[in-house]
Amino acid sequence: MGKQIRVGIAGLGNVGIGVVRVLSHNSDLLLSRAGRALTITAISAREKNRDRGVDLTKFDWHGNACDLARAENVDIVVELIGGDNGVAKDVVETAISNGKHVVTANKALIGHHGTNLAKAAELNKVVLAFEAAVAGGIPIVKALRDGLAANRVERLTGILNGTCNFILSNMAETGRPFAEILAEAKALGYAESDPTFDIDGIDTAHKLSILAALAFGTEVDFANVHVEGIRHISPIDIEFARELGYGIKLLGVAARVPDELGGGIEQRVHPCMVRKNAPINHVSGVFNGIEVIGDFVDTTIYEGRGAGQGPTASAVVADLVDIARGLRIPAFSLKATDLRPPNTIPMGRRVGAYYVRFMVVDRPGVFADIAAVLRDHDVSMESVLQRGRSRGERVSVVMTVHETREEAMQKGLQAIAALDSVVEPPSLIRIEDL
Ligand code: HSE
């Protein structure tokens, strides 16, 4: 057996305590797999004396997490503080510049600063690992970096936020509105008390930007990811989607755009309608699911728990084992200095099918007016549904349209919204062909 490797944990919330538990509970197994002991030597958190349900007395305590990142008796710093700036960033930078390996679950930090941190890690000859930052217990970082290394990835599609998937799955099962289910998700502890990052798609965008960098060998480009959340999804849309043979999911989509279509990488997060028998539509509740298409492997699918103490700690400890084994794989699979700007394409260039719901006054000629606007914008209708029949009253009209360019669709919708007979802003959901 080799010399022990010494671990310092900065941040003792749910995941930090999970890491302490895994390292203690599976110590024999980890010793035989890693070939050396993974020993916690130091810890740091905001409050020292809180009862966390595990014995922490044998570890050195640091009130200042940057001191832990400099400590002589630490080889790997595990950053579980969170946030894209502030203490978390200071700790990671301090660790790297002091020659310590870093394992983090911090998707915001990697989403915002991943490329620079990877460059710093390479310069200092240490590992930066972040399996736990994306999709909790699903080993998707290793799948992209190692298992699929032979492939040119064409497309990656993921349900990367358990809170949103819980809300949308429950809305579909019960027909209840978004706000009610969100309140329930908070009560169950699935949603944060401030769930903005989850429900507005930002958490998914952080994770997508990391996966896109791994998949396409590009710099992490969170700033240019198109992001929409799920607040506007209503039970009526879910019902119409069902009738049309679709489910609604919040997806992160990253895809290579062929050179003949202008080149670049699509990176977008928004609610999508997916065929009801598409594998990703069966990922429900708090689970995450990811589909990756590679040029030789074809379609691969991954599913599992995207959050929680056990799954996230499992991912953190897997990174610790890699480092203990001596694996020195670049953070984003290529040398950080070889990562190229992704040329993330603007949303207006997305080409695909759409679902649109209009609230209109029910009178003769309304369909004809809407159809005329779509014709003028070169948008081709596929199907039309109307619910209710009540002359002079408001009714819902739903359309699906064939593949079209987002720019044309948005312009068409603006013109339709201005028609007298249209009484609410149209609701648009993109249809993804999965
Ligand atoms: N808040 C995230 C989710 C989990 O709801 O999936 C941590 O990334």
| Buried-exposed string 156-174: b where 16+ CB fall within 10 A, e elsewhere | bbbbbbbbbbbbbbbbbee
In the chain, CATH 3.40.50.720 covers 5-137+329-336
pLDDT in tens, the chain (434 residues): 789 999 999 999 999 999 999 999 999 999 999 999 999 999 999 999 899 999 999 999 999 999 999 999 999 999 999 999 999 999 999 999 999 999 999 999 999 999 999 999 999 999 999 999 999 999 999 999 999 999 999 999 999 999 999 999 999 999 999 999 999 988 888 777 789 999 999 999 999 999 999 999 999 999 999 999 999 999 999 999 999 999 999 999 999 999 888 899 999 999 999 999 999 999 999 999 999 999 999 999 999 999 999 999 999 999 999 999 999 999 999 999 999 999 999 999 999 999 999 999 988 888 899 999 999 999 999 999 887 767 778 899 999 999 999 999 999 999 999 999 999 999 999 999 99
Nearest to 279 by CA among 267, 271, 291: 291
The CA distance from 188 to 174, in Å, is: 17
CA–centroid distance, residue 249 to ligand 1 (Å): 15
Q: Is the CB of 111 under 6 A from ligand 1?
A: no
Q: Is the CB of 229 under 6 A from ligand 1?
A: no
The CA distance from 87 to 119, in Å, is: 20
pLDDT at position 189, please?
Answer: 80
Q: How many residues does the chain have?
A: 434
CA–centroid distance, residue 161 to ligand 1 (Å): 5
Atom 2 in ligand 1: residue holding the nearest Cα: 161
Atom 7 in ligand 1: residue holding the nearest Cα: 307
Q: Is the CB of 163 under 6 A from ligand 1?
A: yes
pLDDT at position 51, please?
Answer: 92
Atom of ligand 1 nearest to the CA of 133: 8
Atom of ligand 1 nearest to the CA of 162: 6
Q: Does domain 5-137+329-336 have CATH number 3.40.50.1370?
A: no
Read off the tokens for 375: 């014709």
pLDDT at position 190, please?
Answer: 77
Atom of ligand 1 nearest to the CA of 164: 5
Active site residues: 207
The CA distance from 205 to 228, in Å, is: 9
In the chain, CATH 3.30.70.260 covers 348-431
Residue 335's φ and ψ, nearest 5 degrees, are -55, 135
* Cα angle for residues 283, 289, 290 (degrees, 5° grid): 140
CA–centroid distance, residue 31 to ligand 1 (Å): 30
User: What burial class does residue 244 get, using C-beta atoms within 10 Å of its C-beta: 0-12 exposed, 13-18 middle, 19+ buried?
Assistant: middle
Give Cα 56 to chain centroid, integer Å. Answer: 32
CA–centroid distance, residue 173 to ligand 1 (Å): 21
pTM for this entry: 0.96
Domain boundaries 348-431, corresponding CATH code: 3.30.70.260
Q: Is the CB of 198 under 6 A from ligand 1?
A: yes
Q: Is the CB of 162 under 6 A from ligand 1?
A: yes
Q: Is the CB of 306 under 6 A from ligand 1?
A: yes
Atom of ligand 1 nearest to the CA of 166: 5
pLDDT at position 103, please?
Answer: 98
Atom of ligand 1 nearest to the CA of 191: 5
CATH class for the region spanning 142-305 = alpha beta
Atom 4 in ligand 1: residue holding the nearest Cα: 307
In the chain, CATH 3.30.360.10 covers 142-305
Q: Is the CB of 252 under 6 A from ligand 1?
A: no
Question: Among 134, 161, 211, 305, which residue has the most ligand 1 atoms within 8 Å of its CB, making it the best to mutate?
Answer: 161
Pairing assessment for the beta strands 226-227 and 265-275 based on DSSP bridges? parallel
CA–centroid distance, residue 179 to ligand 1 (Å): 18
CB neighbours of residue 184 within 10 Å = 16
Q: Is the CB of 161 under 6 A from ligand 1?
A: yes
pLDDT at position 20, please?
Answer: 98
pLDDT at position 107, please?
Answer: 97
Atom of ligand 1 nearest to the CA of 306: 6
Residue at token pair 């990671």:
92
Integer angstrom CA distances of residue 178 from 13, 160, 185, 387: 29, 19, 10, 21
CA–centroid distance, residue 92 to ligand 1 (Å): 21
User: What burial class does residue 155 get, using C-beta atoms within 10 Å of its C-beta: 0-12 exposed, 13-18 middle, 19+ buried?
Assistant: middle
pLDDT at position 2, please?
Answer: 80
Q: Is the CB of 312 under 6 A from ligand 1?
A: no
CA–centroid distance, residue 378 to ligand 1 (Å): 40
CA–centroid distance, residue 304 to ligand 1 (Å): 13
